[in-house]
Structure 1
Amino acid sequence: MAKQRMLKFVTTAKEMPEKRDATVRANDFQEIYREFADQKAAEQASRCSQCGVPYCQSHCPLHNNIPDWLRLTAEGRLQEAYEISQATNTFPEICGRICPQDRLCEGNCVIEQSGHGTVTIGAVEKYITDTAWDMGWVKPVKPTHERAETVGIIGAGPGGLAAADVLRRAGVQVTVYDRYDRAGGLLTYGIPGFKLEKDVVMQRIKQLEDGGVQFVLNCNVGTDISFDAIRGKHDAVLIATGVYKTRDLRDPGADAAGIVRAIDYLTVSNKLSFGDEVAEFTDGTLNAEGKNVVVIGGGDTAMDCVRTAIRQGAKSVKCLYRRDRANMPGSQREVQNAEEEGVEFVWLAAPNAFSGNPVSSVTVQKMRLGAPDASGRQSPEPIEGGIYEEPADLVIKALGFEPENLPEQWGVDDLETTRWGTVKAEFATHATSIPGVYAVGDIVRGASLVVWAIRDGREAGAEIVKYLDGAAQVAAE
């Protein structure tokens, strides 16, 4: 019977949830995709071929059991579908919204490879968990027994929160320290509401709080509390700070007023969505209204910036990227959404200099793709004489992020780092050079995906429990 409900990709076409009209959605920060209705979610889930070797699952960093929860959705067994989804993923409703499924599960779907169009895995995942919240199936963590050991987690982003969830389920006492006034890290202040509405993040934070996780916010490690003090208070420590240092521009005039960091720009915009008063927005410093905006970069952060600028009422929004569309690291789905909303992409273009203070224009160098570099990608090279001026009242740097120098900031010389400045941690256990100290997410990997941080956090949480078990056994002997 179950099989008869599946394999409908031959007769049923791929459909995404309805997307709100670009002229409407460009005026607010609400999510742009509507929810699947029950019937449509079941119909789209039934397209799954239930293949013997599910490439969707093997190409998911969390190895989510996708075929099983698609089958359960097609059969209308949504609570069971949620339980299977939640078993491998701490935040399925978040991954369903912001994972680049076109590069991961959906991009490796067998029926996609055969030309029938992928199963819309992300949209069904979002539907399952949103339904679970609506139906009250998502409960606070209630460990079967409480343990005396405590773990301090530095960073309340996806990696730290995923570890906190695993540790609380094991009964460990957890305290999370974060520099911001709200938990969530980039989920809260880095990703705009039109991709991830903030109540979705806040309900997970509340679930963790209700389950016993303690949050210490507005707390800068190295300033408000020392790393050694955190180590002294806890039986183990997890570093999950992410990477927040912005790669900079070195072109003439790059220090002019009006040239700002993407993280600052996005943080201010997200604070506004909570109803906060933000001086940098009110005085126009980080407000695109009425301005010619130029965003430099080609990743997902650049996409977030251009689409935010549109919603703030910019006069024009252009994205400069030094390679072509095919070589862009950001999601192609996001590029399409941005173009629909009025963003202009200027491919094969790089800044050469900036005029005015505050900035008034960008000198743009036209590029072409030359020989492949060490990574195999064609290297951009300037076209001789290909120079022109682009008006700009606000320039946003979205060139990627690098790790902060944690050993220096925290005064911890024995915390080993790599030549890239990331924290050195064992691949399998996430243990650092300091006994009892672990590290996960972007501070280890470099700037990466939320789903990888969740995986790291879950793995590290399990490893910390093993470490605490070992310490308890030694103490008992």
Structure 2
Amino acid sequence: MAERMLKFVTVAQSQPDKRSVSERNADFDEIYRAFAVDQAERQASRCSQCGVPFCSIHCPLGNNIPDWLKMTAEGRLEEAYALSSATNNFPEICGRICPQDRLCEGNCVIEKGFESVTIGAVERFITDTAFANGWVAPISPPVERAASIGIVGAGPGGLAAAMQLRELGYQVHVYDRYDRVGGLMVYGIPGFKLEKDIVARRHLYLEESGVRFHLGVDVADRDGEGRIAFATLRARHDAVLIATGVYKSRDIGGPGAGLRGIVKALDYLTASNKTSLGDNVVAFESGELNAAGKSVVVIGGGDTAMDCVRTAVRQGAKSVKCLYRRDRANMPGSIREVKNAEEEGVDFVWLAAPEAFLGDARVGAVRATRMKLGLPDASGRQSVEPVEGSAFVLEADLVVKALGFDPEALPTLWGQSDLAVSRWGTLRVDHESFMTSLPGVFAAGDIVRGASLVVWAIRDGRDAAAQMHRWLEERAAVTAQAAE
């Protein structure tokens, strides 16, 4: 059925319909409507089936994108799901939150001149259809192994590893400090990008597959109420994977930086997400982490900043401004998210950086200065320099710092002085085996590579699981040989 492909010359690119701005600003539901079957088939048929699929090459998971697009165009959706899920543990999540404009779609061969294939929306459609039709069966390993594996962190990296290891028959236990599975997918990413029942559906799937979750358990340096010592985990399991992610918010100094009303992005987003889930959040109810009726300034230009500004709009802020020191072309966040934010009423203040925070006990304004782009620095990005005499003031009842994340000091928190870290505080691993400096302890995801994308955490979790399996098999072989 090759005649169903290469339709990019006659079929225009089309994203799923968006809900109206007034409708989506009133709630935290996803803004994109689902593709109908015929829409998904038509958009998939635009694929050029090129000989060198740059979409796959630029996908961290190496997804077989042209193949499952062809299957979708031909109406072979169950086969498309089987192929899509063969390389991606959570295609329905990546289809929603991956920055496709920087990855697969941004490198589509037909992008110049005909606009890229709508890869992310088709990916989401395939797996949502698979769940709706009962094609997603719980894992049933061909053999049950006695070996037990403990995973610290129920985010995308830890869950991907849990799924891979369970398929191999290991007894998998996942520990997480939060009371829900998903990590930042639940508490950091707002519902308008990823509705929480999508993550809960995967939680149920993993439980039905035999993965055991220990929620509300904080890994620490000693055992106690609501916590477990890391040393206890090592003694309890044959191998341990650390997939905690990075949660320590980067800060900003300057005059007035300690005023009330200046908050961290993760605190702000977590309060909003917990409230949406029905939890009682005191800091939200008091208004401390609630933008309702306030003039909001968000500092930063990444996807977390976009999540914050769009959350503030939905909370009923009086005004929302995003302050970023570089220009639109140099921002790290998804351009698609910037467009959505602009549609929803966010005002972007480009080439501007905070200089001081004004107020008495509580912030009332941000004094900022204009910036200009200079020569490229060591990283290749253009440096930024202040423009002399360009200071200006923005009204601000709430300032949200979205400046990125650093790792927590795990060796200290867990009482593991031999757990080696890099100069950035991330865990140091052998990049072939994923083993840390502690025998039998592996690490993957943001805690190793630094704050990154969900899709990279999935890739790392899958690769770490394969190396853990290899290590356990080798150890079992040595033990069996010694017993002979």
In the superposition, the TM-score normalised over structure 2's length comes to 0.97
1:4-403 correspondence runs (5 A): 4-113=3-112, 115-222=113-220, 224-356=227-359, 357-403=361-407
Aligned residues: 475
The CA deviation at 1:110 is 0.7
The CA deviation at 1:460 is 0.8
- CA deviation digits over 1:55-82, x for unaligned, max 9? 1111100000001100000000000000
1:442-461 correspondence runs (5 A): 442-461=446-465
- The amino acid of 2:197's aligned partner reads D
Q: Distance in 1 between matches of 2:363 and 2:321?
A: 15
- The amino acid of 2:147's aligned partner reads E
The CA deviation at 1:310 is 0.2
- The amino acid of 1:173's aligned partner reads Q
SS at match of 1:385: coil
Q: Give the stretch that moved more between structures: 148-157 or 218-227.
A: 218-227
Q: Distance in 1 between matches of 2:114 and 2:351?
A: 33
- CA deviation digits over 1:83-138, x for unaligned, max 9? 0000000000000000001111111111113x111000000000000000100111
SS at match of 2:391: strand
Q: Distance in 2 between matches of 1:256 and 1:284?
A: 15
Q: Give the stretch that moved more between structures: 198-207 or 423-432.
A: 423-432
Q: Distance in 2 between matches of 1:330 and 1:66?
A: 24
Q: Distance in 2 between matches of 1:429 and 1:17?
A: 41
Q: Distance in 1 between matches of 2:354 and 2:438?
A: 42
Q: Distance in 2 between matches of 1:290 and 1:389?
A: 19
The CA deviation at 1:428 is 2.4
Q: Distance in 2 between matches of 1:283 and 1:145?
A: 53
Q: Distance in 1 between matches of 2:147 and 2:283?
A: 43
- The amino acid of 1:184's aligned partner reads G
The CA deviation at 1:3 is 1.0
- The amino acid of 1:160's aligned partner reads G
Unaligned runs of 5+ in 1: none
Q: Distance in 2 between matches of 1:78 and 1:423?
A: 40
Q: Distance in 2 between matches of 1:333 and 1:317?
A: 18
SS at match of 1:360: strand
User: What percentage of aligned pairs have identical amino acids?
Assistant: 66
Unaligned runs of 5+ in 2: 222-226
Q: Distance in 2 between matches of 1:171 and 1:165?
A: 10
Q: Distance in 1 between matches of 2:339 and 2:135?
A: 35
- The amino acid of 1:102's aligned partner reads D
RMSD: 0.8
In the superposition, the TM-score normalised over structure 1's length comes to 0.99
